Structure formats: C-alpha cells, structure tokens
A and B are shown apart, each in its own frame.
Chain A
C-alpha cells in the first residue's frame, strides 16, 4: 500500500465519520421525531418505524465515532456502506411513489408543507458520494492515525 493511500483513507474516514456523527446527533435528541421521519417513507408499520427511528441515530453515532477513531474501520465502513445503500433505496422509492417528504437525512424529516418541493436528486447524489467513501474504506481500511494501526 502506498503512503498517499493511507492519507486518502484518513480523509475518507474523517469525512464519512463526521457526516455520520452529525446525522445521528441531530436526530438522537428527539427520537419520537426520528421515528416519525422513518414513518414518513410509508415503507413499514408504525411499530417497526419506531424501532428503526430509535436505533438508526444511535448506530449512526456509533459508526461515526468508530470511523473518527479508526477503530474496526472495515466493519464500521461496511455498516456505513449498507446504511447508504438503504438510504438511497428509501429516497428513490419515496421519489418513485411521488411522496413529498423531507428525507430526514440531516434533519427530523416528515411531510413537506404544500408548495415546498423535495430535492431527492441532491439527497441521492450526496448519499452516493458518501457510499463511495465507505466502499473505499472497506477496500483499503488501513489509514493514517487510526487506533487499528496503533493496536497492530
């Protein structure tokens, strides 16, 4: 592995980690709202939406912290990649069904007021970029300044 790749890996780790930490932190202070954001996708019954809505921000914070610390990087990046695939699929399905919702990505989500249009293309583009970072880290998990490296 070349040295610059480990620096690139560090950048990917910090970028992706910060995004996950921020997304989770915004939602974790109001878990009921997070559950409603999941419910707005109308993909699952309310009971399950509550479970997902509560667990998702907690996991986002966990994955974010792991990535920032560089601990279990490959596992954390794999979880992040799975999450991004699920988010992209969710947004695409909301788009396809003509729902008018806030994606609840970095906010608390829900139906948009009448007259306000969703911006699904931008949401998906951002998630594809984050997915690329996650895949890069799954393939090259060895990065600069990581706990993984200090322990080995």
Chain B
C-alpha cells in the first residue's frame, strides 16, 4: 500500500474512533440525566405522599390509649380485633364469634378492643371501608358501637359495587338506636380521617389483612384447616 493510502486509512480510523467515543459519551450523559430524573421523581413522589397524609383527626369516645380501637369491658385478657366492614371474612368472624366475645366482656373475662380499619376502599366505588369505619366511630360516641357493627355486618354490601351512602348509614344507625347526634357526626365527617390513622397504626403493628386478632398482644394464626374463630377462642382459653 502507498504511503498516502496508509495515511488515509489512519485518518479514517481516527475519525471512526472519535465518532465511537462521542456516541459513548452521549450515551453515558443520557443515562446519567435519566438516572437523575428518576431519582428526583421518586423523592418528589414520596414528599408529596408524606405531605398529603391527613395528620389531624378526631378520636371517638371509648377508644384505647392510642386512639385507634373502640374498647369494651375491662377483663384481664386483651382481645384486639382488626376488621374492615367490607371484608367478607370479617363478617364471617363477626357472626361466628361476636356473641361469645360480648358474653366474655360481660363476664369480665376479656377487654375487647375493635379496630375498624380501612384497607378495602378500592373494592367499593364510594370508599365504603373508610366511611363505615368513620360512622362506627360516631356510633361509639353514642354508646352503640357493638349494635351498629352488628347492623353493618348483617347487611354487608358486596365487594366491587357501591357501599351504603352516608344517608343510608345514618338510617342504619337510627334503627340501631342512635339519634340526631349520630346523624350529624356522620354528615359532618367528624371522624372522616380517623380510619386512615387507625389503619396506618395497624400496619405499624404488623396487621397485613383482615380480620387480624391479637390475644394478649400475640397475633392469632389459624393452623392449617382451622377457622380463625376456633384459633381465637383456643388462644383465649390458653390464657385463662
């Protein structure tokens, strides 16, 4: 090959090399910018989430010290029930266990704390989990939490559709013996942001579904094939 030919080839190689380097640099720059944007957007999203959380909420009467559950009785064994009024398993547990639990409250065997949390808002078109829990707080103020819970579970709406409106919740409260104070409590949304607070606190305690029951602070886990109701009463029996 001639000298000139060699030179031309060298020039071409250098040009190719430079172009390759430029491509590489551009690709690194694009990746760096992209990574930066992803990081900013994530941190921004978390900041928005943390700042839009309801921090102020009212707490109903007869709640526990942390203001998250409605307490009945003062027996030596602590039974904590986390429930969502839209959850079918909660309804099953309620109808199977409620009568015996209330009897144990009256016999001063247990202190029953019921935590109406809202984890199923996506399964109704009108945030029934949150609104029913808020209404239950109003019922606690009227001293009829247990009766109102019975009424809600007796007519539990199906998952996926519209839950009861506030007006319907008021009507159910009235037939459970609650009055005008209850009606205005529901209509004013007095406890509207209480359920999300109670739900967050339940997550902190390790509640990841409903119903979740603690007996003397021990989470009850049913054995294979055992119902949650049997597991709960076994756990209570083991404590007494």
Contacts and interface: CB of A to CB of B under 8 A. Distances in A.
B183 to A, nearest CB: 29
B38 interface: yes
A50 B200 CA distance: 10
B204 A114 contact: no
B23 A114 contact: no
A13 interface: no
Interface residues of B, number: 34
A59 B196 contact: no
Interface string A96-136: 00000100000010111110000000000000000000000
Nearest to A75: B31
What is the predominant secondary structure among interface residues of chain B facing chain A?
Answer: helix
B203 A35 contact: yes
Given A54-B45, A55-B46, A148-B30, A39 B89 contact: no
A31 interface: yes
A38 B227 CA distance: 26
A51 interface: yes
A66 B49 CA distance: 24
B208 A110 contact: yes
Given A39-B208, A55-B46, A75-B31, A108 B89 contact: no
Interface of B: 23, 26-27, 30-31, 34-35, 37-38, 41-43, 45-46, 49, 87-89, 119, 121-122, 196, 199-200, 203-204, 206, 208-210, 212, 222, 227-228
